[in-house]
């Protein structure tokens, strides 16, 4: 017990000296600036944003799934290349993965000279994809959800998007306020 009291008294006497307090503050400031410097380097290495453009939902051709199609723009804010490996949609605590291969998003046909002709087909962006430094990529992203969720995604809503890169996983809040916008504007 005497040793503890002696050590505490020595610490108090050491802190009583103004120069020692200045030294402590300088060392703490230096340590925090080093931490902030390396943290900023790491954050810049994997810094991007996701912009929601529009979405719509329909049943899959088999009728077994609801297929929400989101149109997103990814913007790489860092000068280093970035790879998006996987993406998930969070809805009411459930996690649904976006599809890896390209998927048909919308197809239009027209009758010309008595024949049915395909006029437009848009494919969803395949995963993984790479964004160059300070680059951007826009595309359609599709997921399979239970059929009872079709109505949920035919209207506006707020959901979360989880984007996974090799460096980290980031959760974005998506305010999906333009359901069917592409169909209304462009016909697909």
Give start and end residues of each alpha helix (H) in the chain. Answer: 2-16, 18-45, 150-153, 181-186
From residue 12, alpha-carbon distances to 9, 23, 27 in Å are 5, 15, 18
Model confidence pLDDT, tens digit, residues 104-130: 666 666 777 888 777 666 678 889 999
Poorest-pLDDT segment among 2-16, 96-110, 157-171: 96-110
pLDDT at 28: 92
Over residues 33-67, the pLDDT tens digits come to: 999 888 776 666 678 999 999 998 888 878 899 98
Separation CA 166–CA 183 (nearest Å): 34
What pTM was computed for the model?
Answer: 0.69
- Tabulate helix, strand, coil % of the chain (nearest 5): 30, 45, 25
Class of domain 49-186: mainly beta
The pLDDT of residue 102 is above 80 = no
26 pLDDT tier (thresholds 50, 70, 90): very high
How does residue 75 score in pLDDT terms, banded at 50, 70 and 90?
Answer: very high
């Amino acid at each position: 017990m005497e040793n503890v009291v002696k050590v505490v008294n020595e610490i108090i006497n050491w802190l009583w000296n103004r120069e020692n307090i200045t030294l402590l503050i300088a060392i703490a400031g230096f340590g925090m600036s080093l931490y902030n410097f390396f943290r900023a380097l790491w954050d810049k290495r994997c810094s991007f944003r996701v912009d929601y453009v529009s979405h719509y939902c329909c049943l899959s051709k088999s009728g077994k799934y609801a297929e929400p199609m989101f149109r997103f723009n990814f913007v790489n804010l860092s000068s280093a290349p970035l790879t998006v490996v996987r993406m998930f949609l969070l809805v009411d605590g459930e996690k649904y993965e976006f599809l890896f291969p390209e998927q048909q998003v919308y197809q239009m046909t027209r009758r010309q000279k008595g024949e049915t002709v395909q006029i437009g087909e848009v494919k969803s962006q395949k995963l993984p994809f790479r964004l160059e430094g300070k680059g951007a990529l826009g595309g359609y992203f599709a997921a399979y959800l239970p059929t009872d969720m079709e109505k949920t995604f035919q209207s506006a809503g707020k959901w979360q998007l989880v984007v996974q890169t090799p460096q980290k996983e980031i959760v974005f809040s998506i305010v999906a306020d333009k359901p069917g916008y592409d169909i209304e504007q462009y016909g697909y």
